[in-house]
Every structure is written in C-alpha cells, then in structure tokens.
Amino acid sequence: MNEGVMATHCILVTVKFFRLISWTLLIPLLFEKVTAQSSICQQLDPSPNLQMFVDALPIPEAIDISTGDKLTLGIYKISQKLHRDLPSTTLYGYGTSQAKASYPGPTLKATRGIVSHVRWENHISDSSHFLPVDTTIHWANPKSGGVPIVSHLHGAEVESASDGHPDTWFTAQGETGSKYVTQDYVYANSQPPTMLWYHDHTVGITRLNVYAGLVGIYFINSPSEKGYNLPISDFEIPLLIQDKQFYANGSLNFPNVGDSPLIHPVWCPEFFGDTILVNGKAWPYLNVQRQLYRFRILNAANARFFILSFNNSKLSFKQIGTDGGYLYKPIVLSTLTVAPAFRVDVLVDFSSLAPGTDVLLMNSGPAPFPSGDPAQSPNGTDIVMKFHVVTADSYATGASSSVPSTFQPDAAIDIKDVAVRRNLTLKEFDDSSGNPIISLLGNHHWIDPVTETPRLGTTEIWSIINLTPDAHPIHVHLIQFHVLNQQSFDATGYLNDSCSLSLEYPNPGSCFTENPRQPNVDQIGWKDTAITWPSNVTRFVIRFSSQDGSSFPFDATAGPGYVWHCHILDHEDNDMMRPYVLL
C-alpha cells in the first residue's frame, strides 16, 4: 500500500549567498557566513492510497521509422488509466491519431545510417494549459493562447532545425516561437546504437508538458549489435520512470503556489511526486522468466534522482551502456544512480531465483539530491516496481543470450586536441528568506546573447563550477561527451573571494580541497547528461563532431542553434538553460 504521507517536498537546504532585489535586476550581495536552512515550497495533498503491483508493466507500442516513410506524430489531449484503482487521468500524449495517442508515446525504432522523417503536429485546441503556468518566468507566451509544444530528441546528433530548440514551439492555433523553422524533422541516426528519448522542450513550460505526458523512447539500432547476442524482444524491456502526484479524481496534482510567491506566484524550484510510475503505470509488476533480461532504463522525472537497487542480493545490474551507447565492458553494480534524463542499459539475470520469487526494484535517492529527504519508506517512493519470477513453460525462450565480456564503442575523445577551455558557474539566487527564485548558468539568463560558440570539429573542456547546494544534471544538445574528472572546492571561500579557482589545468586554484578525481561510476562512458555535484568542479570533454570523430552528416552551424541546460525541468524552465551555436 502507498502510505501517501509524503507530499511534494520542495525542501531545499539553501545556502544563502545572495539577497535578491528583483529577478530581472539581480544584485547579489554576499553574506559573510553561509547559513543552511530548509524552505518548504508547497505541501501537496498526498495521492490516494494505491495498492502496489496490481497493473502489469505496459510496453509502449513500437513504430519502425527506418522504412523511408515519413511518420506523423500528433500531440493530443488524452485520458488514460495510470492505475487500476485510479480514475482516468487527463494527460497530453503523442500518437499517430487521437485514438492511438498515449503516455508514454510510441517507441520509435530507427536504424543507424538510415535517415528518418517525423512530422510533429499540435492537436491541443484548448485555449490554455491544464497545468498551472507561471507567467512571471520567461515562457513561450503565445499571444493567441493555446498550448505551445515542440519536440526534442534527447541525445541525438541532429540538425538544429530538427532539434526542438525551445523557441521553435508552435500551437494548434498556428502561432510559432521566434526561432520556428519547420515541423518536419529529419533525424540523421548517424550515431552508434543506443536509447534516446523524445520529450517536449517548449521554453518556460517544459516541466508542465513533460509532466503532462509528453515523453517517449527512441532506439537507434544497428545490425552490428547482433554479434553481442544480447536479450531481445520479450527479454529487452524499456523502463521509463517518472514520479507524479494525483488527486482522488485521478487528475494530476502539481504545485500552483510558488516558494517565493511574491516573485514567482506558481513556480516551485523542484517537483517531487509521491507516486512512482514505470511506462505509465503506478508501481507495476512484470512477470519474468528465469532468464537474462536487458532493461533500458530512463529517468524521465522532472527533478527526482533515483538510486536503484534490488531487495535481493542474488541479483545485480550488469551495466553495458550509458546515454551514448555501449561501454567497453560490463560493470557489475548493486546500485544505479540515475539522474533525470540518464539512460542506463543493464542486464539482469533471474536464472538463480526460484519460481514464485518476488523481487522489488527499490529507490533510495534523496530529494532534492544529494542532501534532501530520503525516499519515502516503507511502501512509497522507495519502491519502483516488482518482478515476479514465473514457472514459464516457455522456459527456454531467449536462453541463448549471454553477458558479453567486451563491446566496441567509439574510441574516447583525445584530450590532447583540446582547443578551448570554458569555465561555467551554476549559481542559485534566493529571496531574502532563503527561498530559491532562479538559477543561472555562467551568470547569464536564457535571453542573454550567446556566449558559447564552439568551432565545428574542435574539442573543448567545460569546467562546470557548481556553487549551489544541489546536484544538477547538465545536458548538452547535439553531442555525446565524457566526464573527465571531478574536484571538490570551497564554494563559500570562492564566493567571498578568500580563495581562487584558476582556469589552468590541472587546476591549481587555492579553493580546491582535493586533486581531480576520476568520474563517479555513473559518469563513465559516453554521456549527454552528467551530474555536477555541489561544491565540485566537474569537467566535461566535448568534441563538436559526430561521436566517432567524423563530420556531422548535416550542417550543424545552420539553423536556430542548440542549447545546454540543467535537466531538472523546473530549473531549466526558470533560466538554467543557455543557447549555444557552432561556428
């Protein structure tokens, strides 16, 4: 049973560096001391008690988009059952028709090297969003009303006109954002096989559109993978994880009172729901055979970081891939740290378990991460789903799959070739009571002129300097990168000018409290989103080319350009996002 005691806790341990005068006129005043305090955003009523594991895990319908035909996907307002005992929920969904639209949207299956064409359409004719928009943050704000949408294929090597730039939104009423180019998107599918995902990216309301249901999975497959002999079909299962909160009537509950309401009447710094959904059902179960399975995990939550584990020590995760595809070799792990937007590709072997065994997929991620409230336990956000081992008569199906000892991903980026080093701060600005009201990248707002202008084909190191108390999953569009290292520093001292950080590498600045450290295990391999921990400099190595080092098969310097941002959607919407263009 869901105890439902935890409401949306926007409890933030806030380090009070700044007093804010007004969000458009940021005049940070340094305090001599750093004080930590908690602030509560909005306590939502708990969701109705929902019995766990009564719904089978749904598998979204798959559509092959490697046929050469254009696929038209519409965005529709839909009503869908998210739990046996919950009345239908109003959502937005993707689909080839109103009748077929669903949350999550259909799984799109592309083939490496075969271009696919998707036309995105907006069929939401309502005059306004069904979730609370905060009009005091910079958002699409269509003059003739409607619900702006734009779809981004996360992690894709894609021309910028098809990247779903936040200002290329469009409404059903025909209004378009300032950088709108087209609704007919072209996906090159030039990168190595991996799981991408598509989701809404409209400026200022991404958190609402994604929460409303606008998410789906996108595979790039390659014939070259067949040699790995990995589990396929019924044994290869996507797990798209989100948290939500519900009213008794089934409607989505979302904060409609901000934590600093005089400045932002509605916006809440982070949304955490008390109900965990996988593939669109609350706490589902999956019957599994005593076989090797491949789970393609995606954290599609607004702000929640998951730390996944099994409640059975006989099972482990054999991680074989990340955001950008295969690792060199499997890594055996008992926990997986899965930040928003991360994809984790794992093998799990149920063959040692007796028929009838139940195994829980558990979560121990604090919210906010890493120093917020623990997951609600027992029978709450500490549980994701259940696996039930069956005595299947089809016992032998898929039995030939095995755990390969090595893979052949693209060679890592050579850091001898670094052309430019950038240092980029993550800073939170609070009101006089210590409530967060905005966070900025490199001290710039979204609407400020472009400051990141890498040259096509060059390699850069981005040193992300996290001055906030929270971890932020930083996502860079267009490319897959590596985390080079991480290094703790004294953020308080840096902010009060009592020590320094130098741009030189390895960084000798007096604020550092340790030498550069190897990336954490969740940061290894090809990544498009990586965790930047508080009071750490996290260095990304980014090469602005195709993942294998060759040229992009399109002109990446053309069109509206790209963006990089925090993937906590509530942060991204309130200015923790910046444009970048390639020269």
Shortest spacing between CB 467 and ligand NAG, in angstroms: 10
- Examine residue 247 and tell whether it contacts ligand NAG (CB under 6 A): yes
Among 470, 566, 428, 575, residue whose Cα is nearest residue 28: 428
- Examine residue 311 and tell whether it contacts ligand NAG (CB under 6 A): yes
- Examine residue 535 and tell whether it contacts ligand NAG (CB under 6 A): yes
- Examine residue 378 and tell whether it contacts ligand NAG (CB under 6 A): yes
Shortest spacing between CB 314 and ligand NAG, in angstroms: 8
Tell me, by CB under 6 A, how many residues bind ligand NAG. 29
C-alpha 355, offset from chain centre: 35
Among 334, 273, 360, residue whose Cα is nearest residue 569: 273
Q: Rounded CA gap, 60 and 186, in Å?
A: 23
Restricting to residues 468-497, name those near Cu ion by CB under 5 A: 472
- 23 three-class SS: coil
State in Å, rounded, how far the first CA of the chain is from the last one: 55
Pick the piece of the chain touching ligand NAG (CB under 6 A) from 193-201, 260-268, 395-403, 494-502: 494-502
Looking at residue 25, the DSSP 8-state letter turns out to be: B
Q: Which of 43, 96, 379, 557 binds ligand NAG (CB under 6 A)?
A: 379
For ligand NAG, the closer of residues 72 and 496 by Cβ is: 496
Helices (H), 260-413: none
φ, ψ for residue 422, nearest 5 deg: -120, 145
Q: Rounded CA gap, 320 and 198, in Å?
A: 22
For ligand NAG, the closer of residues 3 and 64 by Cβ is: 3
Q: Which of 50, 147, 307, 501 binds ligand NAG (CB under 6 A)?
A: 501
Among Cu ion, ligand NAG, none, partner that 141 touches (CB below 5 to 8 angstroms by kind): none
Among ligand NAG, Cu ion, none, partner that 501 touches (CB below 5 to 8 angstroms by kind): ligand NAG
Strands 383-389 and 285-288 come out as: parallel
Shortest spacing between CB 486 and ligand NAG, in angstroms: 5
Encode 244-273 in three state secondary structure. Answer: ECECCCCCECCCCCCCECCCECCCCCCCCC
For 275, how many CA atoms within 13 A lie in the half-sphere containing its CB?
A: 32
C-alpha 536, offset from chain centre: 21
Shortest spacing between CB 244 and ligand NAG, in angstroms: 14
Q: Look at the block and give the residue holding tokens 């109003």.
A: 90
Pick the piece of the chain touching Cu ion (CB under 5 A) from 304-312, 324-332, 405-413, 565-573: 565-573
Looking at residue 568, the DSSP 8-state letter turns out to be: S
- Examine residue 8 and tell whether it contacts ligand NAG (CB under 6 A): no
Restricting to residues 27-46, name those near ligand NAG by CB under 6 A: 32
Q: Which of 229, 498, 550, 551 binds ligand NAG (CB under 6 A)?
A: 498
For Cu ion, the closer of residues 158 and 568 by Cβ is: 568
Provide the mask over 346-375, with x wherever binding to ligand NAG is found by CB under 6 A and - wherever it is not: ------------xxx---------------
Among ligand NAG, Cu ion, none, partner that 571 touches (CB below 5 to 8 angstroms by kind): Cu ion
Measured on CA atoms in the order 282, 210, 477, 11, is the torsion positive or negative?
negative
Tell me, by CB under 5 A, how many residues bind Cu ion. 4
- Examine residue 380 and tell whether it contacts ligand NAG (CB under 6 A): no
Shortest spacing between CB 564 and ligand NAG, in angstroms: 16
Q: Rounded CA gap, 270 and 276, in Å?
A: 16
For Cu ion, the closer of residues 200 and 349 by Cβ is: 200
Could you tell me if 373 and 470 are in contact, meaning their C-beta atoms sit under 8 angstroms apart?
A: no
Pick the piece of the chain touching ligand NAG (CB under 6 A) from 201-209, 331-339, 444-452, 498-506: 498-506
Shortest spacing between CB 369 and Cu ion, in angstroms: 10
Shortest spacing between CB 460 and ligand NAG, in angstroms: 12
- Examine residue 492 and tell whether it contacts ligand NAG (CB under 6 A): yes
Q: Which of 43, 423, 458, 557 binds ligand NAG (CB under 6 A)?
A: 423
CA distances from 16 to 32, 267, 430, 467, 470 (A): 10, 19, 7, 11, 13
For ligand NAG, the closer of residues 402 and 453 by Cβ is: 453
Q: Which of 568, 569, 577, 582 binds Cu ion (CB under 5 A)?
A: 568
- 441 three-class SS: strand
CA distances from 256 to 41, 43, 260, 261, 386 (A): 10, 10, 12, 10, 33
Return all residues near 63 (Cβ < 8 A) that are at least 6 apart. 71, 96, 106, 107, 108, 109
Could you tell me if 491 and 426 are in contact, meaning their C-beta atoms sit under 8 angstroms apart?
A: no
Residue 466 sits at the vertex; the CA angle it makes with 462 and 468, to the nearest 5 degrees, is: 155
For Cu ion, the closer of residues 325 and 473 by Cβ is: 473
For ligand NAG, the closer of residues 66 and 443 by Cβ is: 443
Q: Which helix (H) or strand (E) holds 109?
A: strand 107-111
Could you tell me if 197 and 343 are in contact, meaning their C-beta atoms sit under 8 angstroms apart?
A: yes
Binding site for Cu ion (CB under 5 A): 472, 566, 568, 571
Residues near ligand NAG (CB under 6 A): 1, 3, 32, 247, 249, 251, 311-312, 358-360, 378-379, 423, 486, 488, 490, 492-493, 496, 498, 501-503, 520, 533-536
